Chains A and B, each alone.
Chain A
Amino acid sequence: MNPTVARLTLRGLLGRRRGILLLVVPALLLLVSALASGAGGDERDLTVKILGQLGLGTLVPILGLVVGTGVIATEIDDGSIVYLLAKPLPRWQIVTTKLAVAIGTTWVFAAVPTLLSGLLLYGTRDGVALGYTVAVLVAGAAYSALFLLLGVVTRHAVVAGLAYALIWESLIGNFVAGARTLSVQQWGRSVAEAVAGDAAIGADVSFGVAVPLLLAVTVAATVLASVKLAGLTLAGDE
């Protein structure tokens, strides 16, 4: 961790319009949860739906995308990354610091609202709130690493990230069972199921597969991002 890189990254992340977006998405989850908490019906089923589909399925990938790309893609786009790179700093240190900021921010803006929503909807019963919170923590970390990598390797990181989250995970994952095996969301769901021990949280990927995949994706994305950043090319305007 490099404290200066962390400070610059955090200020860049929270100081711009992105900061507002980071607040809007979790506020929406809390609002929906507050409205739904008085609606009656099967509370557990409702909680699983809201936390699973709105929280883990929507809030986390969106925040992961905004934060994961925001910690580095903006600097690469506007060229200010030069001031970090023209220093005798190991590239892995820049990447791990930025990843730590991204994960921390995702946790604050996604995991905390998820826990609050869970408690609001269903209290601590059956471990549903805790299960989803842990799921959001691990999925948030994986999304952050994945989207940070996209921010380093492509100028179209947000589009590529949206394509992954919306088309692969949500659309294809809905119809093709096999696609769910390669879905951060499903790995998170598997963790939620294991933590909660709740049959209501259905997961298509086993815990034994999900955890190694989550770890592998997070570590591989971080390593690859470090390698790519070390060879980052700033083509001239010419």
Chain B
Amino acid sequence: MATITIDKVSRWFGNVVAVNDISMTIGPGITGLLGPNGAGKSTLIHMMSGFLAPSSGAVTLDGAPIWRNQQVYRQIGLVPERESMYDYLTGWEFVLANAELHGLAHPGAAARRALDLVEMAYAKDRRTGTYSKGMKQRVKMASALVHDPSVLLLDEPFNGMDPRQRLQLMDLLRRFGADGRTVLFSSHILEEVEQLARHIEVVVAGRHAASGDFRKIRRLMTDRPHRYLVRSSDDRRLAAALIADGSTAGVEVDGRERALRIEAVNFQGFTTLLPRVARDAGIRLYTVSPADESLESVFSYLVSA
């Protein structure tokens, strides 16, 4: 059982604050680190894996500082986002080298076990430079698991993977989580995190936006006010009909855009209400577009919530 503790950590690069006063605890099981691109996820993972010093605060593994402490790597397995991995080596040579570098008593046996675990034994004699993205990811996993670590850190592990590879990797991570290992992976894709992690940490613009059970956070995301831009054959009549319903909090007639700006408080209710109201009133809908559906705006809402 291993726990990573991030205690009041900030990290800045010159004038840019990448991580701003974040505290979180990553314990056994799978944790998803969710946030839009540029939110500070990689910076956090780099600090958790000892490749970046916090500008302030402390990052520890079971109480021991991670920065400049090579002994933590006996417990940590790291799957970096970058793909470079000694392309001139075969999968076998690469994983074996990692086992040897850990100083394991039986590096050959450990490498074999790790390659079997990620189901890459069949391609072990091919150069890693010839691997597909998914194969590379799995061999990177094998190299991270070769010393049987209690902590597994993965930076955007699903990037560029096809759906089948994604499912395979998810299965693998689920098994590690079920084994009681501490697994942390970062992602900017909500659905990915949803499928894998029950516990999530949300980071937005360097700040810790939310933490806890995924379903609760998801509900918070779904229940937020949604804004839509709607164009129809009769905007004013549509506005009057919509405001009469409780799922609409506000309607603004935008004369310049020749459209309605609608704020819906009940997402489910509004999506069924709008077409029904339009049909009943004989109004044709030309445009219905969400004005704030980007992940960034969803996350921003969480920060302010």
Report whether chain A binds chain B.
Answer: yes
Assembly CA distance A238 to B47 (angstroms): 14
Kindly list chain A residues whose C-beta atoms are within 8 Å of the C-beta of B74. 88
Given A12-B88, A80-B86, A238-B38, the answer on whether A233 and B51 have CB atoms closer than 8 Å is yes
Assembly CA distance A8 to B50 (angstroms): 22
Kindly list chain A residues whose C-beta atoms are within 8 Å of the C-beta of B37. 238
Q: How many residues of B contact A (CB 8 A)?
A: 38
Contact, CB under 8 Å: A236 / B84: no
Q: List 12 A-B contacts (CB under 8 A).
A: A5-B101, A83-B85, A83-B86, A83-B97, A83-B101, A86-B76, A88-B70, A89-B70, A233-B46, A233-B52, A234-B51, A238-B43
Given A79-B82, A91-B70, the answer on whether A237 and B42 have CB atoms closer than 8 Å is yes
Contact with A along B60-92 (1 / 0, CB 8 A): 000000001011011010101110111011000
| Residue in B closest to A74 when the chains form the complex, CB atoms | B84
- The answer to whether the Cβ of B100 comes within 8 Å of any Cβ in the partner chain is yes
Among B39, B51, B71, B76, point to the contact of A232 (Cβ < 8 A): B51
Write the nearest CB–CB distance from B16 to chain A, whole angstroms.
Answer: 10
Assembly CA distance A82 to B49 (angstroms): 10
- The answer to whether the Cβ of A90 comes within 8 Å of any Cβ in the partner chain is yes
Write the nearest CB–CB distance from A17 to chain B, whole angstroms.
Answer: 12
Write the nearest CB–CB distance from B286 to chain A, whole angstroms.
Answer: 39
Assembly CA distance A89 to B50 (angstroms): 13
- The answer to whether the Cβ of A42 comes within 8 Å of any Cβ in the partner chain is no
Q: Report the contact-size class of chain A (Cβ under 8 Å from the partner).
A: 20 to 34
* Contact residues, A224-238 vs B (CB, 8 A): 230-238
Assembly CA distance A236 to B40 (angstroms): 8
Contact, CB under 8 Å: A78 / B84: yes
Kindly list chain B residues whose C-beta atoms are within 8 Å of the C-beta of A237. 42, 81
- The answer to whether the Cβ of B138 comes within 8 Å of any Cβ in the partner chain is no
Write the nearest CB–CB distance from B274 to chain A, whole angstroms.
Answer: 38
Q: Which residues of A contact B (CB under 8 A)?
A: 2-5, 7-8, 11-12, 15-16, 78-80, 82-91, 230-238
* Contact residues, B85-111 vs A (CB, 8 A): 85-86, 88-89, 97-98, 100-103
Assembly CA distance A235 to B80 (angstroms): 12
Write the nearest CB–CB distance from B125 to chain A, whole angstroms.
Answer: 16
Write the nearest CB–CB distance from B38 to chain A, whole angstroms.
Answer: 5
- The answer to whether the Cβ of B122 comes within 8 Å of any Cβ in the partner chain is no
Write the nearest CB–CB distance from A215 to chain B, whole angstroms.
Answer: 28
- The answer to whether the Cβ of B53 comes within 8 Å of any Cβ in the partner chain is yes
Kindly list chain A residues whose C-beta atoms are within 8 Å of the C-beta of B143. 83
* Contact residues, B1-44 vs A (CB, 8 A): 13, 18, 37-43
Kindly list chain A residues whose C-beta atoms are within 8 Å of the C-beta of B38. 238
Assembly CA distance A231 to B70 (angstroms): 11
Kindly list chain B residues whose C-beta atoms are within 8 Å of the C-beta of A86. 49-50, 73, 76, 78
Assembly CA distance A16 to B103 (angstroms): 28
Contact, CB under 8 Å: B84 / A80: yes
| Residue in B closest to A78 when the chains form the complex, CB atoms | B84
Assembly CA distance A224 to B278 (angstroms): 73
Contact, CB under 8 Å: A87 / B53: no
Kindly list chain A residues whose C-beta atoms are within 8 Å of the C-beta of B52. 233-236
Assembly CA distance A91 to B68 (angstroms): 10
Write the nearest CB–CB distance from B115 to chain A, whole angstroms.
Answer: 16
Among A7, A78, A238, point to the contact of B97 (Cβ < 8 A): A7
Kindly list chain B residues whose C-beta atoms are within 8 Å of the C-beta of A230. 68
Contact, CB under 8 Å: B43 / A236: yes
